[in-house]
Structure 1
Amino acid sequence: MKVLLFSHGTRGDVQPFAALARALTHAGHEAVLATNAPLAHLAEPYGIRFAPLFDRYDTLSNDPVVRAGYETNFRGLRGKRLAAALFRRYQPMMARVLDDMAAIGDEGADLVVHLPNLPGHEIAERLGVPAALACLQPGWVPTSAFANPLIPLRLPRPLNRASYLTSRLWVHGQLGNTSRWRRDVLDLPRRRGSRNMLRRPDGAATTVLHAFSRHLLPERTDYPSWVHTTGFWFLPAPPQWTPPASLDRFLRAGEPPVYLGFGSVAGTDPVHAGHVVAEAVRLAGMRAVVVTGSGGISAEPLSGGNVFVAEETPFDWLFPQVAAVVHHGGAGTLSAALAAGRPQVICPFMYEQPFNAARMHAAGVATAPLPQSTLTAEKLAAAIERAVDDPALTVRAQELGALIRAENGAATAAELLETLVADGARTH
């Protein structure tokens, strides 16, 4: 079968889709990964066919409104004004993304898999094939077990289910009115519920793949049978990848260092973040590998023989060699830290990151969350020392790591997609 996979965003949004494409390819299927043009390097080493989409994230990466919104997680009245301004910037760019999606869809597919913020289900409707929704965070299918992790509010438990409506509203705000695109580009008729990615055109439930582990969630979630929590989708280091000799020498030159990195989304003051990290490492008396990503931490303040600075490094290779992982709580870094069985220090600042930080602390693999809005070098140094020195954190991290690795999420997701297409064929 031919599977068209639509993703769009930061590396953390796209890399799991590359992992699923790789699993589908290994199972004998044709997978096409359609995503931001600059992320083609995630597909090429694995022989995955790549289709570029317009990259709004690269365009907006230095926009002060975007940075300020991310820094505050859109809290309060100012945060809502920032969100409205962000939508005004997003919508014209998303129109270009949607047109690219339609052109790629013209090449046909037997199945469409997509992120919630991309209307891949409407491409599938045009092609007359099934669609599956791939969720990288638990913020899209309502549950009474916990409130929507994607919103920065504390809510009474009776409102847990209702809180998930905000995710759909957020997507609608980013996309704007897609009626013209549906009518003029996809040549589809108007129909009620066409924007609801959780429902097929006939009103039945859409297959949802949760690309994360059940161990991330509280117990007794009440997801329906059409939701499958497969485990994380891991993409191994490229087959021909070798570490830089300088990094290899640094790792061998002393005790295991700590890893520090705050992901691909930059805050408003990455230089300040760099100073906090540099001072925390000094206070903790640790060696450190600092990955700057796309600007979350500035390399400028970082220097000295006890710190190695890199732009990016495959986590599945690096994390087993460090003493602890200090990160922002994004799904990609979180999953790699879990799989490596390493204790964590999580410094969240947006979207589901506070939820992830709280869950990892509750699971016994991370210190108490350190929100970036109140982060200091002294707090970070103390948390690093505890993560490295507390044997209970290390033991629990190793136990949970073994469970995470056993899930084999991408292969499980590929098998579910095979069943979905086979079932669809039998009903036609």
Structure 2
Amino acid sequence: MKIGIQTWGSEGDINPFIALAAELVKAGHDVKLAITSADRRDFSPFAQKYGFKIHSVDFIAESEEKLNEIGKRMIESPDHLKQLKFIFSEMFQPGVNKMYKISGELCAENDLVIGHFIHHPLQAAAEKSGTPHITVALNHGALPTRYAPPVPLPDLGKTINSIIWKISLRILNKIILPFINSLRENEGLTPAKSYREVWESPLCNLIAVSPVLCEPKPDWGSNHHVCGFFKLKDDSLKWVWPEGLDSFLGHIMEPVYMTLGSMTGTANNSLLINETTRLLYDAAKIANVRAIIQSRWEHVTDIPEDKNIFRVNSSPYSRVFPKCAAIVHHGGAGTTQMALMSGKPSLIIGHIQDQFLFGAELVRLGVSPFVLNRNTVTPKKIGRGLREILLHPAMTQKAFSAGKIMREEDGTATAVRIIDSLKILK
């Protein structure tokens, strides 16, 4: 079967689709992946290695400087709803026309299209052309259920949860629908009444999250499938093993791994990079732990060399995390699942809504003490969280048990089985 895939966002929004594309090719499908990226990196080596075609649609923002400015404004907003509107208006909407053009081409060329759940241009093109369309959700935060409230609200029972979700849906629709329906109306399509009509394919919505973190809810429809983490089985292409890391990891006292991932700052934002790196460095010193700190170290100034701090720009998470005592991170879907799969407790410093969702899930599982907010976090708060993790072995034991379950899952293989079972005929 010929399959077109389209995604948008940071590396965390792209890597799962690379993993899915690779697994589809392995199953005998002809795959083309279209990417709109914030990271401005070349993903073609993955296509060459795994045998799918790749097309770079565009970059988010016209320059890294502009992207830095946009990212800073988004993170500084304490209101998650304003953040959501900002993401659509400043980051997604400017590229809609280019994305929609490629969406149309993917629909014309393929028997099936698969898209990032917020990628409404692909859904519109599929609806207009009659091409079967599947969505992939990288988190479950926008799926209403009476069995849980929207994060971060407390669970007050099924009745109250249902009422809260109805109110939340009205608010979300007010924010999201104008962007979705602008394109739909231009293309002669009936305006959507809810974002759910677009974000959740009635044919199939694949949820790329482990069932350990995302418990399937009884009131979700049969079109929703919690598959598991979409992870490349071989990440050797992506990572280069840093020199000296083996000996640092071999110490009797396991280090803490500290990273804020894409939230660290891009190369042109040395102020944010230094601020973020200093935050993590000071927290490690306060907690009195050995630490591996991931940053853009070539842009960092005024942080002294320290024998208990190992500096990396990147590292192979699947090989490094299992050798660490705990992981401090931003709560991205990929990093969260990689940490838990490695059997390690986490301390999350959330920046945007889905990161707080994953933080709440980790707290629910008993593998994280609490969730910190980037706007109010201090080295002392991080230090307190680390001490709580390291002084309570139960968190590590629970993380170990959860990791063992996750390592037996295969999210992309499960997704491909579901896709093949649909018997798609265009």
CA distance in 2, matches of 1:224, 1:374: 38
CA distance in 2, matches of 1:94, 1:220: 33
Q: Show CA shifts across 1:88-131 (max 9, x none).
A: 5642333223233334444x111111112212222323443311
Q: 2:374 aligns with which of 372, 392, 396?
A: 372
The change in CA–CA distance for 1:122 and 1:371 in structure 2 (over 3 A counts) is: same
CA distance in 1, matches of 2:301, 2:352: 24
Match of 2:8 in 1: 8
- Give the aligned CA root-mean-square deviation in angstroms: 3.3
The change in CA–CA distance for 1:339 and 1:363 in structure 2 (over 3 A counts) is: same
1:231 maps to amino acid: G
CA distance in 2, matches of 1:169, 1:42: 38
2:290 maps to amino acid: R
Match of 2:55 in 1: 51
2:262 counterpart SS class: coil
- Tell me by how many angstroms 1:217 deviates: 3.5
1:53 counterpart SS class: strand
2:54 counterpart SS class: strand
CA distance in 2, matches of 1:74, 1:100: 33
Out of 93-102 and 336-345, give the one that drifted further: 93-102
Match of 2:117 in 1: 116
User: Is the contact made by 1:327 and 1:347 (CA closer than 8 Å) also made in structure 2?
Assistant: yes
Match of 1:137 in 2: 139
Give the TM-score of the pair, scaled to structure 2.
0.84
User: Is the contact made by 1:237 and 1:316 (CA closer than 8 Å) also made in structure 2?
Assistant: no
Match of 1:319 in 2: 321
Q: Show CA shifts across 1:127-168 (max 9, x none).
A: 43311110001133322223344xx77796222244245555
The change in CA–CA distance for 1:46 and 1:312 in structure 2 (over 3 A counts) is: farther
Uncovered stretches (5+) of structure 2, i.e. residues with no partner: 266-270
1:402 maps to amino acid: K
Match of 2:268 in 1: none
1:147 counterpart SS class: coil
1:25 maps to amino acid: V
1:28 maps to amino acid: G
CA distance in 2, matches of 1:174, 1:261: 33
User: Is the contact made by 2:228 and 2:411 (CA closer than 8 Å) also made in structure 1?
Assistant: yes
Q: 2:219 aligns with which of 222, 229, 236?
A: 222
1:387 maps to amino acid: I
- Tell me by how many angstroms 1:362 deviates: 1.7
How many residues align? The count is 408
CA distance in 2, matches of 1:354, 1:410: 25
- Tell me by how many angstroms 1:288 deviates: 1.3
Give the alignment of 1:179-190 within 5 angstroms: 179=184, 182=187, 189-190=188-189
Match of 1:238 in 2: 235
- Tell me by how many angstroms 1:368 deviates: 1.6
The change in CA–CA distance for 1:141 and 1:387 in structure 2 (over 3 A counts) is: same
Match of 1:276 in 2: 279
1:146 maps to amino acid: A
User: Is the contact made by 1:72 and 1:350 (CA closer than 8 Å) also made in structure 2?
Assistant: no
Give the alignment of 1:281-360 within 5 angstroms: 281-292=284-295, 299-300=300-301, 302=303, 303-360=305-362
1:347 counterpart SS class: strand
The change in CA–CA distance for 1:355 and 1:419 in structure 2 (over 3 A counts) is: same
The change in CA–CA distance for 1:206 and 1:400 in structure 2 (over 3 A counts) is: same
2:243 maps to amino acid: A
2:249 maps to amino acid: L
User: Is the contact made by 1:273 and 1:298 (CA closer than 8 Å) also made in structure 2?
Assistant: no
- Tell me by how many angstroms 1:54 deviates: 0.7
1:411 maps to amino acid: A
- Tell me by how many angstroms 1:378 deviates: 1.6
CA distance in 1, matches of 2:390, 2:299: 24
- Tell me by how many angstroms 1:406 deviates: 1.8
User: Is the contact made by 1:291 and 1:312 (CA closer than 8 Å) also made in structure 2?
Assistant: yes
2:371 counterpart SS class: coil
CA distance in 1, matches of 2:300, 2:186: 43
2:34 maps to amino acid: A
Q: Structure 1 stretches (4+) deviating beyond 6 angstroms?
A: 152-155
Q: 2:392 aligns with which of 390, 393, 398?
A: 390
Out of 387-396 and 162-171, give the one that drifted further: 162-171
